[in-house]
Chain A
Amino acid sequence: MSQTISLAGIRQLIGQWLGQGKRVAGPIRVNADTILYQNLTSAEALLLDGCVHPGNSIKEFVMPPHEKLYEYVVKGRDVELRNQEAFPPERLILGGRPCDAAALPILDHIFNWDFVDAAYNQRRQALTIVSLACTRQDDACFCTSVGLAPDAVQGSDALLVPLGNDEYEVRCQTPKGEALFAGKCTPSDRQGSVPAGPAKQFDAKQVEALITSQFEAPVWREQALACLGCGACAYGCPTCHCFDIVDEGHAGGGIRARNWDACQFPLFTLHASGHNPRQGQASRQRQRVYHKFHIYPEKFKEYLCTGCGNCVRRCPAGLGLLSVLTAIQQAGAAAPAAKGEEAKQP
């Protein structure tokens, strides 16, 4: 037995949520060639299968690009701190890709490692995630290479599997998912299915080892030559979570805000003394791969990557993790266990 729901049913669900003053987000077409996850203003705006993957990720709804941590008010020589008590509104994310939903459990590790990040967790608990299994993919997708699949359910409260002509099978995964779809589905015996994911592009386990063994290999410098050092890959990535803390305000008071940051920018590691451990773009790009495929797995047993391919699609220089990782794999195969005698990375 399976549960199904029609596109009209989904739109009615959105209308209901919006009516109750809650937020609904999903992929919408922003202009001719850009589709992004954004808050919906109407049910019709939702674009279930308009593209392979929207330009951004649902990370924005648990860690926004710019977020107030707390307020400070200067009173003469004293200061008063006002905490950000406002509880984030309940939000339904509809039509997200499985590789975006899978990113959230991965991020839960770092945001609850020893110190529990209240802002992240409050937003995370307020989310209900209904993903749509992928029926389309492009050369940038490599979710299969990191252990995911077009119909992966990690991180989703419910998964919609297309049955054709606007009918979807609903596979609830969590009580939240069941509560959401309770009474809205019609039982049926049709089973949805999706085409197999992209062929495995690289072996994640092997790459994880190669990164340390090839740490000084010239492949990093060659791959990074075309990189222009912007933050498009990091900001489009569902799992990149690095941030900066800045003050915004004036003599009388203001806010301390958390903003997105990226290890691709030179200022990320610049010491006050002027020394910069990662001066060249090659070392910065290696750091990003090293953090995703070696450090994070070593600490939290999961790759900090869901293979969504946004870094490939969004890179203005036509790079992205895929080409770097495949290049590492070839370099690794060509010169096994070449302990770092190469010249130092700049």
Chain B
Amino acid sequence: MSRIGVFVCWCGENIARTVDVVQVAEASLQFPGVKHAAHYKYMCSEPGQSLIRDKILADRLDGIVVASCSPHMHLKTFRGAAQAAGLNPYLVEIANIREHCSWVHQDKAKATAKAIDLVRMAVAKVRRNNALQAIKVPVTKRALIIGAGVAGIQAALDIADAGYEVVLVEREPSVGGKMAGLSETFPTMDCSQCILTPRMVDVGQHPRIKLYTCAEVESVDGYVGNFKATIRQKARFVDIKKCTGCGECWNACPQKKIASEFDYGMGNRRAIYIPFPQAVPARPAIDKQACLKLKKGVCGICAKKCAAGAINYADQDQLLEEPIGAIIVATGYQLYQISAQQPTAELSGYGEYGYGQYKDVIDALQFERLVSASGPTGGVIQRPSDGKEPKHVVFISCVGSRDNAKGISYCSKICCMYTAKHTMLYKHKVHDGQAHVFYMDIRSGGKNYDEFVRRAIEQDHARYYRGRVSKITEENGKLIVRGADTLAGTPVTIEADLVVLASAMRPATGSDDLARKLRIGYDQNGFLSESHPKLRPVETNSAGILICGACHAPKDIPESVAQASAAAGKVLVMFSHKEMQRDPEIAKINESTCSACFACVRTCPYQAAEKADVRDRAGNLVKRTARINQGLCMGCGTCVAVCPSKSADLEGFSDQQIYAMVESLL
């Protein structure tokens, strides 16, 4: 490349305030190969991009360096601009003089000197770029959706309705996730069963959705458009094809006292059970830990009762493989374990609230089950300890959330809303009951959200105290809740019959292991990392893998559904092309100098480097060599560093480019 254009961006004031952009432009004219240098207030804007396009045509430029923000922000933008002017998009390099320079250095002289160095390195690199063409790869038009909560269901339906096959994998025996367990939902108070069950049925009956329940993703290989997902179908001990869901088995099962996970321990279930009446598939599963037949080889009543002969005690886990083109992760959330000991060291518990010690201190989801018509108490609010109707219920917000000391710094976003909902539900069921709410701030920013909270306070007379609860003790059947009302400036002590803790939302258990299997990032709280918070909220850094719902961050149902459709939309964009364009910045091997030690074959995490033979026209073996499978290579470059004879190289980050960058610093 010998006709290079350097374009320095002001980024409004973000760069220009601490970097002398004019001086950077002038200095870059001295670099070898630079034919033109310009600066403009907003390079990424339309006028900025047209400035680049015009200069490419006017000066026959064959290489572009844009000194602006991080390549993660606008490399695609400027590559598009170059392509629009007929220049190969891979002849564009970015010098990051904003995040890595103007924003972090105040001394203008030093920041400008550094910016000039960064541009010099980018020019040295772009002079050795090759014009690359995208690699064409076939696309498997089947999507894998992990987690069948409201988000997973929505995404599955969108994609299936668009005509493509979906593999939906759910860990629990039934789809529905956390929403299935809720009573009513804010702000419209419509019953979650009524709005979710039809969707669950659609999912269960959709011709193009292949539903796996009691199943987990074992491993995922391959790459975007050509994944191979291995799904572990855990032993259910019930053949759901034969079973008609008549219920004979779970009515006769002697093991009655198993704490139901679906009811979060508020009610019990049998060893063979369906989690809740509207379960889809409405087929039971046997709990290996509880079933006497499976544990001790006795009983077996359910098999005798089953007319369809669907019970199979010898059922084993199976590993099934599914060809997949794109993956959506919708594994949802779980509530923060309020009791003293915690799964990880940083998260310390709320022993002082007595959760797990006092039976009448429950968390929000447990209260949902109490209030729910299909709940263990049939919707009657009663104290778990003695079953009496509670006259005074205390709701405590921000239990865990916004509390660095407890290791959770973020706000769980939806607790203010469902706490207000709980006070209304409680009022409608116990007319003479009094709800007390201890809160820090009320966060009700959604549509009709604040009106909803006002109604809870004004119409249903919930008493809101702005303050923290310090301690809960139990004295003769009553829970003494000691807190403070900072607005009134007085301590508050309430003798409550029931305490409901609005505890923090945390990612579902095992979501970090799944992230490792899929090679996507997650933050220090375990929530999955999106590719870009504003520009690519549902994509991840791994091509072809998307995320939606609470697994990404705490969020309510409307947002989860919106994100689910967004993720499905992205998948449909990919499936709309006959074949997929793959990033050509991948490895290549100089087969004439490769000495076939196959260090690269051992190293490649994607098995993209293969052993191959070089044959002459007559077909006899000339030599052995390593060869790169262009469909599999993801461009990590580990083979390039491990190759002793430097026969392996990586387009886009080739040795020539990297060494030119380093040598330009002399």
Contacts and interface: CB of A to CB of B under 8 A. Distances in A.
Interface of A: 74, 76, 250-252, 274
B341 interface: no
- A-B residue pairs, 8 tightest by C-beta: A250-B666, A250-B663, A251-B32, A251-B664, A76-B30, A74-B32, A251-B124, A252-B666
A251 B32 CA distance: 7
Contacts of A251: 31-32, 124, 663-664
A66 B168 CA distance: 69
B30 A250 contact: no
Nearest to B33: A251
12 contacts: A74-B32, A76-B30, A250-B663, A250-B664, A250-B666, A251-B31, A251-B32, A251-B124, A251-B663, A251-B664, A252-B666, A274-B592
Contacts of A252: 666
Interface in B592-615: 592
Nearest to B32: A251
Contacts of B664: 250-251
A274 B592 CA distance: 10
A74 B32 CA distance: 9
A74 to B, nearest CB: 7
B471 to A, nearest CB: 70
A252 B664 CA distance: 9
B253 to A, nearest CB: 79
Interface string B574-606: 000000000000000000100000000000000
Main secondary structure of the interface of B (DSSP, over half): loop
B352 to A, nearest CB: 66
* Interface of A, helix, strand, loop or mixed by DSSP: loop
Contacts of B31: 251
Nearest to A250: B666
Given A250-B664, A251-B124, 10 more contacts: A74-B32, A76-B30, A250-B663, A250-B666, A251-B31, A251-B32, A251-B663, A251-B664, A252-B666, A274-B592
B567 to A, nearest CB: 47
A71 to B, nearest CB: 15
Chain A CB count within 10 A is highest, among B30, B124, B664, B666, for B666
With a 10 A CB-CB cut-off, give which of A76, A251, A252, A274 has the most chain B CB atoms. Answer: A251
Interface in B613-666: 663-664, 666
B109 to A, nearest CB: 21
Interface string B119-158: 0000010000000000000000000000000000000000
A274 B593 CA distance: 12
A274 B31 CA distance: 34
A65 B664 CA distance: 28
A76 to B, nearest CB: 6
A168 to B, nearest CB: 52
Nearest to B124: A251
Contacts of A76: 30
A226 B32 CA distance: 49
B637 to A, nearest CB: 24
Contacts of A250: 663-664, 666
Interface in B1-34: 30-32
Nearest to A251: B32
A217 B31 CA distance: 58
Contacts of B32: 74, 251
A74 B664 CA distance: 13
A251 B33 CA distance: 10
B661 to A, nearest CB: 11
Interface in B173-228: none
Contacts of B30: 76
Nearest to A253: B666
A267 to B, nearest CB: 12
Nearest to A252: B666
B119 to A, nearest CB: 13
Contacts of B592: 274
Interface string B554-580: 000000000000000000000000000
A250 B592 CA distance: 29
Nearest to B660: A251
A250 B664 CA distance: 7
A274 B590 CA distance: 14
Nearest to A75: B30
A251 B665 CA distance: 10
B660 to A, nearest CB: 9
A76 B666 CA distance: 16
A252 B665 CA distance: 10
A274 B124 CA distance: 29
B411 to A, nearest CB: 52
A42 to B, nearest CB: 37
Contacts of B124: 251
A258 B480 CA distance: 92
Contacts of A274: 592
B23 to A, nearest CB: 17
Interface string B31-65: 11000000000000000000000000000000000
B295 to A, nearest CB: 71
Interface string B399-410: 000000000000
B2 to A, nearest CB: 10
A56 B592 CA distance: 36
Contacts of B663: 250-251
A143 B28 CA distance: 62
Contacts of B666: 250, 252
A275 to B, nearest CB: 13
A96 to B, nearest CB: 40
A150 B664 CA distance: 55
A245 B422 CA distance: 85
A76 B26 CA distance: 13
A74 B30 CA distance: 11
B551 to A, nearest CB: 49
Nearest to A77: B32
B349 to A, nearest CB: 60
Contacts of A74: 32
A74 B663 CA distance: 15
B420 to A, nearest CB: 67
Nearest to B34: A76
B600 to A, nearest CB: 23
A74 B124 CA distance: 15
B299 to A, nearest CB: 79
Interface string B436-465: 000000000000000000000000000000
B662 to A, nearest CB: 10
Nearest to B127: A251
Nearest to B30: A76
B120 to A, nearest CB: 8
A238 B22 CA distance: 59
B380 to A, nearest CB: 82
A251 B663 CA distance: 8
From A74, A252, A274, residue with most partner B Cβ within 10 Å? A252
A251 B659 CA distance: 12
A251 B666 CA distance: 9
Nearest to A74: B32
Nearest to B31: A251
B121 to A, nearest CB: 11
Nearest to B29: A76
B623 to A, nearest CB: 14
Nearest to A76: B30
A76 B33 CA distance: 9
A251 B127 CA distance: 12
A95 to B, nearest CB: 42
A252 B666 CA distance: 9
B123 to A, nearest CB: 9
B622 to A, nearest CB: 13
A341 to B, nearest CB: 28
A252 B31 CA distance: 9
B258 to A, nearest CB: 74
A251 B592 CA distance: 30
A252 B32 CA distance: 9
B666 to A, nearest CB: 5
B32 to A, nearest CB: 5
Residue from A74, A250, A274 having most chain B Cβ neighbours under 10 A: A250
